[in-house]
Structure 1
Amino acid sequence: MTDNSRWSRRTLLRSAAVGGGLLTVPGLLAACSRTQTGTGESKESTLDKIKKQGFVTIGFAGEQPYGFKQGDNLVGEAPTLHKKIFSELGVKDMRGVLTDFNSLIPGIKANRFDVVSAGMAITPERCKEVIFSEPEFVGATALLVKKGNPKHLTDLKAVAKAGATVGVLQAAVEKSFSTAAGVKSGNIKEFAKQQDGLDALVAGRIDAFALTDISLRWLANINKGKPVEVTPSFQPKLDGKPQSSAGGAVFRTADTELRDAFNKELKKITSDPTQYTSLIGKYGFTKVNVPPATLTTASLCEG
């Protein structure tokens, strides 16, 4: 990949309302204000709150290897990075709320948790609803296919050309990638969980399962003995522009203070590839997945 590649998985929310000759940015005023609207009483920020209570509540979707439970422990790329970051911020305890992937953004907007720790892709559509940290990782797309790849499916265009059926996760970006590649809507099947996609592939209900190469390698590894394999990774296109996966933590639009404090600690990790891989290498992340300094959430939100 080059620094000039387009990254669509992850500038900030830029929505403005003009009224009375003043330009206001939703969320920004709320983040800067320390008083409750209408009362003038002191308002505690989310960062102050989690420091005071000693724990942060995270939303995760059980998607391996990004964020999942292993016994009673929260593990995976995002919880591991976030535990380190919040610890540096003085918040030692992290409590998880498991929910469906497509309920993560509604959940954080409804204050069910303080941050989403799920390796969520940064996209312009999502940036209209929430704010993201700077990228935690970058990756590419791949296909999970039957052993031997009997239909010779190398990317989503090949899926479309073959009239094959592809599986995607609900609310994930691979659906739009598939549509852009020419796959008919009737040939795109959505699944709630990764394992459901693999099982459907083995059962012959789909011909391929599209996800990040990181996810699919992990999925194949924990399903050793199943007749599946992962294709070489590729970059799908949207509007003729190559797309790669870049994910980050998710915050409410008002929580810019928390997001900024988080980013400061995140940068210490992503600027040190050795520390990065020592933290999350066991989940399949290598130095290749370290986001380059030139990749910003601002540019990803612009699309």
Structure 2
Amino acid sequence: MSVKSTLCGALLGAIVSMYSFSSYAQETIHVGTEPTFAPFGFVDDKTSEIVGFDIDVINAIGKAEGMKVVIESMQFDGLIPSILSNSIDAAISGMTKNPEREKMVLFSDPYYVAGQDLMVRKDSVGKYKNMESLEGKGVCVQLGSVGAIVAGSIKDADVKNFNNVTEAYMELKKHGCEAVITGTPVNQFYLVQTGDKDLVHVPESVVRAADLGIVTNKNNTALMKKINAGLKKIKEDGTYDKIYNKWFK
């Protein structure tokens, strides 16, 4: 066999090997989240890892679709800009679908439906039972959240925006506002995890059930198809129910 034939054979083998590897290579997606929104996404004190309902859902979707998921921590109001600049491939962070956001990004099928309600100080129990009772009062919310939209609809409310809901709770405790408006499970989880005796959840104040979705760039329809397909799979095979029960039961 000639040297030329040997080299050609080696080259052909390398090309075949390369294409074979790439066809089985696992796709990696970078997913942004704001990790101060328990139980959807937060930093575990023991492991320093980002954990939560959202994290388990996107990891399960990735596994179902053969994608490796890399979680990227960032501020909530930086998620959509990062999607638009292609700094990340997707975002999952308790983000609700609304017309304004849908103009900018693609939303997946809903992975959770959430209502918004109140957290108040213990000394205000009975005083604030619904959104209307906060007319002309100070309200704390997370910047860019559905809670912020709800607060904006309250007549003459003095709305204070914070980078995360934990900061909003701290402002409430300091008497900087009369209530925090955020997702029902967020209020519930905060009290369970912290044992805070100064704040009280007001579940009867719940309003505005909203669909939570995973978002991608409008140009990335291929990834969105995979996300929706993976979400459907984990709902059908029971994986989603296990994740839900882990965080909300």
Superposition TM-score tier, normalisation by shorter sequence: 0.7 to 0.9
Partner of 1:217: 188
Partner of 2:64: 88
**Equivalent pair of 1:57/1:115 in contact (CA under 8 Å):** yes
Partner of 1:128: 103
- Unaligned stretches of 5+ in structure 2? 1-21
Of 24, 28, 33, 1:55 maps to 28
Specify whether residues 78 and 156 from structure 1 end up closer, same or farther in structure 2 by C-alpha distance, changes over 3 A only: same
Q: CA RMSD in A?
A: 2.1
Of 200, 214, 219, 1:249 maps to 214
Of 163, 168, 172, 1:201 maps to 172
- Structure of greater relative contact order (alpha carbons < 8 Å, 6+ residues apart): 1
Shift of 1:235: 4.8
- Aligned partner letter, 2:175: G
SS of equivalent to 1:167: strand
For residues 207 and 200 of structure 1, the distance between their equivalents in structure 2, rounded to whole angstroms, comes to 9
Aligned length: 224
Partner of 2:11: none
Deviation per CA, 1:119-176, whole angstroms, max 9, x where unpaired?
A: 211111000000010000012111011125346211211111xx32110101112222
For residues 129 and 271 of structure 1, the distance between their equivalents in structure 2, rounded to whole angstroms, comes to 30
What does 1:252-271 correspond to in 2, within 5 Å? Answer: 252-271=217-236
**Equivalent pair of 1:153/1:159 in contact (CA under 8 Å):** yes
Of 143, 146, 162, 2:118 maps to 143
Of 223, 226, 244, 2:197 maps to 226
Shift of 1:271: 4.8
For residues 76 and 234 of structure 2, the distance between their equivalents in structure 1, rounded to whole angstroms, comes to 26
For residues 69 and 114 of structure 1, the distance between their equivalents in structure 2, rounded to whole angstroms, comes to 21
Tell whether 2:38 aligns with 1:64.
Answer: yes
Deviation per CA, 1:53-84, whole angstroms, max 9, x where unpaired?
A: 54221101112111233234331111101111
Q: Which has the higher strand share?
A: 2
Shift of 1:268: 2.8
Shift of 1:275: 3.6
Tell whether 2:235 aligns with 1:279.
Answer: no
For residues 179 and 79 of structure 1, the distance between their equivalents in structure 2, rounded to whole angstroms, comes to 29
Of 94, 102, 108, 2:83 maps to 108
Could you say which structure has the larger radius of gyration? 2
Tell whether 2:50 aligns with 1:74.
Answer: yes
- Aligned partner letter, 1:281: N
Deviating 4+ runs (over 6 angstroms)? none
Partner of 1:298: none
- Aligned partner letter, 1:222: Q
For residues 77 and 129 of structure 1, the distance between their equivalents in structure 2, rounded to whole angstroms, comes to 25
For residues 106 and 222 of structure 1, the distance between their equivalents in structure 2, rounded to whole angstroms, comes to 31
**Equivalent pair of 1:212/1:245 in contact (CA under 8 Å):** no
Q: Which has the higher helix share?
A: 2
SS of equivalent to 1:119: coil
**Equivalent pair of 2:117/2:183 in contact (CA under 8 Å):** yes
Specify whether residues 275 and 89 from structure 1 end up closer, same or farther in structure 2 by C-alpha distance, changes over 3 A only: closer
